[in-house]
Amino acid sequence: MKMTADKLWDEVEMLDVQIRQVTPDCVIVAYHGRGRRGDEKPYQGSIAPSYVRQSGHWQLALLPISLGRPTSNRPVRPHPPPGSTGSPQRDRRPDADPWRDRAY
């Protein structure tokens, strides 16, 4: 998708943000996003930019985006992690890591 100055998102929402430090100089930020441009239907997608530290500065290294099809105006609800109740209030614990047991 080509992004130009006249096609920036008017509304953006980031959900289920996860940050993983892979090495001291590499970080991955993963989230579900939702956006709207003008009168177009909203779009949703999964985004996982990777950043690397070079010469003391963080730089974007990779930006994979998986866009979904246009959606209704209903809120985006990410799938709950395996073993959860699906309720963020009941599942939230200070030591909870929903991605810990996933195989990659």
Domain assignment present for residue 97? The answer is no
Tens-digit pLDDT profile for residues 13-26: 888 999 999 999 99
Domain assignment present for residue 100? The answer is no
> Domain tally for the chain?
1
From residue 83, give the alpha-carbon distance in Å to each of 1, 21, 78, 87, 97: 36, 24, 14, 11, 12
pTM score: 0.54
Tens-digit pLDDT profile for residues 48-91: 999 999 999 999 999 988 877 545 555 555 555 566 655 555 54
Q: Quick one: tokens of 25?
A: 């100089």
Query: 59: domain range?
Result: 5-91
Q: Half-sphere exposure (CA, 13 Å, Cβ side) for 35?
A: 15
CATH code where residue 9 lies: 3.10.450.50
Domain assignment present for residue 22? The answer is yes
pLDDT of residue 70: 47
